[in-house]
């Protein structure tokens, strides 16, 4: 059994090295080998193939096929979502004058709360599944590291939306809440290397205010490990 495991690991390690060093003039067979790893979904391919996929990922975002109709933003649990998406739409389509649907301004484009936006319980980016905290069927995969202003920050994912306006290509965005960290949390042994290791310490169930990011900014899934320090401060290790 040990020999079989060693052979399998050696095979995967060679595969990893091949993907990391694949030259521009690689032949079609080599490219197909990488493509087959990328198109596999995260749950099917395992940790190593998930790492490999990052070298050949094309930033593709897949949404559930069952979601056909737009959602009604006015009926969501969080009443401020519409205003957040309106601000995001104005920043995304700067050439348009986008206004609240209740506005009577002539020549402006209204963001319709019932017809302009689809909501998804999860999305798949580069083969990795990202859920959200507001999904009704499952609460899995609702945390992720998000690239914001040059830093990779652990966040809770609240919603995944697709915004669409007449004559414009739809855009994907995600509502996130950054996890709270401050100086009151004791310094951890990995603090100096947190960015390199991807390990962060934050308060449990405490988050900053909601913000909208492009779904392309989702960088990686995270695992949550509860930690209780000597001062009985509930924290989470990400």
Is 60 exceeded by the pLDDT of residue 26? yes
Q: What is the CATH number of the domain that holds 65?
A: 2.30.30
More confident residue, 28 or 9: 28
Mean pLDDT of 13-38: 69
Distance separating alpha carbons of residues 61 and 65, to the nearest angstrom: 12
Q: Say whether both 49 and 113 belong to one domain.
A: no
| Helix H or strand E segment including 35 | helix 28-39
Mean pLDDT of 149-161: 92
Per-residue model confidence as pLDDT tens digits over 81-106: 999 999 999 999 999 999 998 888 88
Mean pLDDT of 114-140: 85
Q: Say whether both 95 and 210 belong to one domain.
A: yes
Distances (CA, A) of 122 to 128, 138, 143, 199, 221: 10, 10, 12, 24, 13
Domain count of the fold of the chain = 2
What would the two tokens of residue 8 be?
């399998």
Q: Quote the mean pLDDT of the chain.
A: 80
Using the 3D structure, point to which of 10, 35, 56 is the last residue of a domain.
56
Q: Say whether both 194 and 155 belong to one domain.
A: yes
Sheet containing strand 123-125, edge to edge, reads 61-62, 123-125, 128-130
Q: Say whether both 26 and 126 belong to one domain.
A: no
Q: Say whether both 112 and 224 belong to one domain.
A: yes
Q: Say whether both 100 and 195 belong to one domain.
A: yes
More confident residue, 32 or 162: 162
pTM of the complete model beyond 0.75: no
Q: Count of residues for the chain? A: 238
Percent of the chain with pLDDT over 70: 74
Distance separating alpha carbons of residues 8 and 227, to the nearest angstrom: 35
Q: Say whether both 18 and 102 belong to one domain.
A: no
Q: Say whether both 39 and 128 belong to one domain.
A: no
Q: Say whether both 211 and 169 belong to one domain.
A: yes
Is 90 exceeded by the pLDDT of residue 62? no
Q: Say whether both 128 and 223 belong to one domain.
A: yes
Q: Give the pLDDT of residue 42.
A: 47
Q: Give the pLDDT of residue 157.
A: 96
Per-residue model confidence as pLDDT tens digits over 157-216: 999 999 999 888 999 999 999 999 888 888 877 778 777 777 888 888 899 999 999 999
Q: Which domain holds residue 221?
A: 61-237
pLDDT class of 41 with cuts at 50, 70, 90? very low
């Amino acid at each position: 059994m040990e020999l079989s495991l060693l052979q399998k690991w050696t095979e995967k390690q060679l595969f990893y090295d091949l993907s990391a060093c694949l030259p521009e003039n690689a032949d079609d067979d080599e490219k197909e080998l990488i493509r087959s790893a990328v198109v596999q979904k995260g749950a099917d391919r395992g940790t190593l193939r998930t790492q490999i996929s990052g070298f050949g990922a094309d930033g593709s975002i897949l949404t559930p096929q069952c979601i056909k109709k737009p959602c009604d933003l006015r009926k969501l649990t969080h009443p401020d979502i519409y205003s957040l998406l309106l601000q995001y739409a104005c920043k995304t389509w700067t050439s348009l004058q986008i206004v609240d649907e209740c506005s009577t301004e002539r020549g402006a484009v209204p963001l319709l709360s019932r017809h302009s936006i689809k909501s998804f319980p999860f999305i798949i980016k580069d083969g990795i599944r990202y859920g959200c905290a507001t999904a009704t069927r499952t609460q899995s995969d609702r945390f992720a590291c998000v690239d914001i202003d040059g830093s990779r920050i652990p966040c809770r994912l609240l919603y995944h939306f697709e915004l669409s306006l007449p004559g414009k290509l739809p855009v994907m965005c995600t509502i996130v809440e950054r996890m709270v960290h401050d100086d009151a949390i004791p310094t951890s042994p990995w603090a100096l290397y947190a960015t390199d290791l991807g390990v962060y310490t934050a308060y449990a169930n405490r988050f900053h205010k909601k913000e909208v990011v492009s779904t392309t900014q989702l960088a990686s899934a995270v695992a949550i490990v509860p930690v209780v320090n000597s001062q009985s401060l509930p924290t989470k290790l990400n």
